[in-house]
Amino acid sequence: MSRDHLLIVVDVGNTNTVCGVYEGDELVADFRLSTDVDRTADEYAALLLPLLAKVGIDPAKAIGVVICSVVPPLTPCFQQLSERYFHQQAFFVEPGVRTSLAIRYDNPTEVGADRIVNALAARELYGAPVIVVDFGTATTFDIVNADGDYAGGVISPGLVISAEALFSHASRLYQVDVRRPERLVGKNTGAAMQSGLYFGYVSLVDGILERLMKEIPNVQRVVATGGQAELIAGGSKFIQEVNQNLTLAGLKLIHELNR
């Protein structure tokens, strides 16, 4: 089925790049690609365009392309991708873009674009105050206060890079899948590592959230997003909702605020 008047939204992360397509208020498609700074615009297009074609999306029907990126070297690549294949000038979320979100940070330009986009989406979807936990290469905790302002956050190492550090620096330990084990006490090295990685990380997340909840009264929602969100939320006492499309929703809101 052919679709018209499409908004293309792209979240370029250190590990994955997520592309979404909105038709009006409906997210009609979303795709996850691995981020590679060595890929050209044509190579990204070679991956993305067949996926769009499978769901009946014509790139020529795009009315806008909105991008947030934490990988500066890829900015020219996605600008070229937007112009060459969607026939649109890409709109990047960067300092000076209207967000309706006051940034209460010592230096607002230091806040990653994805964190601002997530905070905006969470405020509009769930109210304020609200906490967003984004499980990416790093795990970030972002807070919107009772006034609806971005109040700051917490940054910790991500689950995957924490696991990779363990595998690479302990010579007698080997790589295991990061998943929730059946029991806490492992009966072999692999099971013991899985237990430590999973329950250790859940405890890290819940420990930070418990402290945040004491500092921020009447939190409306703790929402998780990102690659490991479902996994960790399943063991968390404080995460109330998982929304894997939170960043895409925020990019759509940015588009509406700036067009």
Round to whole Å and give the CA distance between 163 and 148: 35
Output the six-digit token pair for 105: 């940070």
- 120 and 52, same domain (yes or no): no
- 205 and 112, same domain (yes or no): yes
Under DSSP, the state recorded for 105 is: S
- 160 and 35, same domain (yes or no): no
Establish whether 142 is a catalytic residue: no
- Backbone phi, then psi, for 110, in 5-degree steps? -80, -20
Number of folded domains that form the chain: 2
Candidates 114, 134, 142, 149; catalytic one:
114
Task: Using pLDDT thresholds of 50, 70 and 90, give the confidence band for residue 2.
Answer: low
- 117 and 215, same domain (yes or no): yes
Domain membership of residue 153 as a residue range: 108-244
Residue 59 lies in a domain: yes
- 136 and 65, same domain (yes or no): no
- Average pLDDT over the chain reads 94
- 20 and 130, same domain (yes or no): no
Rounded (5°) CA angle 136-252-30: 55
- 177 and 220, same domain (yes or no): yes
Query: Which contacts (CB < 8 Å, 24+ apart) does range 203-206 have?
Result: 204/156, 205/133, 205/139, 205/232, 205/236, 205/238, 205/239, 206/236, 206/237, 206/238
Round to whole Å and give the CA distance between 151 and 104: 5
Beta pairing, strands 16-23 & 130-135: unpaired
Tell me the whole-structure pTM to 2 decimals: 0.92
- 166 and 140, same domain (yes or no): yes
Using the predicted structure, report yes or no on whether residue 3 has a pLDDT greater than 80.
no
The CATH number covering residue 150 comes to 3.30.420.40
Task: Using pLDDT thresholds of 50, 70 and 90, give the confidence band for residue 206.
Answer: very high
155 three-class SS: strand
Among the candidates 67, 92, 117, a domain finishes at 92
Among the candidates 62, 92, 122, a domain finishes at 92
CA dihedral 14, 81, 115, 251 (to 10 degrees): -150
Under DSSP, the state recorded for 188 is: S
- 87 and 131, same domain (yes or no): no
Q: Averaged over 228-240, what is the pLDDT?
A: 96
Condensed to tens digits (0 to 9), the pLDDT of residues 42-100 reads: 999 999 999 999 999 999 999 999 999 999 999 999 999 999 999 999 999 998 899 99
- 47 and 169, same domain (yes or no): no
Among the candidates 92, 117, 152, a domain finishes at 92
